[in-house]
Amino acid sequence: MDEQQVASRIDQFKRFGESLPGAKVYYREDWGTIYFDLLGKQFGMMSPEPTADTLITLKNLPEVNESLREQFPGVIIPGYYANKTHWNSIKIANEEMDPQAVELLIKVSYDLVKEKLTKKQKAALLEM
C-alpha cells in the first residue's frame, strides 16, 4: 500500500471519529499524534504521517484484544505507548483488514469510553 492510500485511510478514520456524537479528532501537538477525544477522554490515537508503519491505537475488551491479535498477527499488535491489555495498535497499511472493520473498532473504543462517563457527561452528550 502506497503513502497516498495510507493518507486516504488516515483521513477516512479522522472523519469517522469526528462523526461520533461529542467526539473531536485533532492533532495533539504535545504528543505528536492525532488524538480521538470524547469529552476530554481518549478513545484513540493515530500516527499523523502516512507511512508503512502508521498505526491507529484503540481500546477494546482484553479478551477481544487477544483474539484480534491472534486473528491478525503482525497487523494488530499490543497497544503502542498504551496499556497492552486494554489497547491494540493496528497497522493502517495492511491489506488484511478492510477500512470498515477498523471503523467498527473505532466505534467500539468510543463506546467503551462513553460507558465510563459520568451521568452528567452522558446527559450533556445527549444534548449535542
Decide if pLDDT at 11 tops 90.
yes
C-alpha cell at 94: 495492511
pLDDT at 127: 85
How high is the pLDDT of residue 81? 82
Label residue 21 by pLDDT band (50, 70, 90). very high
Band the pLDDT of 82: cuts 50, 70, 90: confident
User: 24 with 37: CB under 8 angstroms?
Assistant: yes
| 27, 35, 96 from 30: Cα distances, Å | 9, 11, 32
- Per the CB < 8 A criterion, the answer to whether 42 and 81 are in contact is no
Q: Which domains does the chain have, with CATH numbers?
A: 3-127 (3.90.1150.30)
Q: What is the mean pLDDT of residues 43-63?
A: 97
Q: What's the pTM value of the predicted model, to 2 decimals?
A: 0.95
State the pLDDT confidence band at 22, using cuts at 50, 70 and 90. Answer: very high
Length of the chain as a residue count: 128
What is the rounded CA–CA span in Å between residue 41 and residue 117?
Answer: 9
* % of residues, the chain, pLDDT over 90: 92
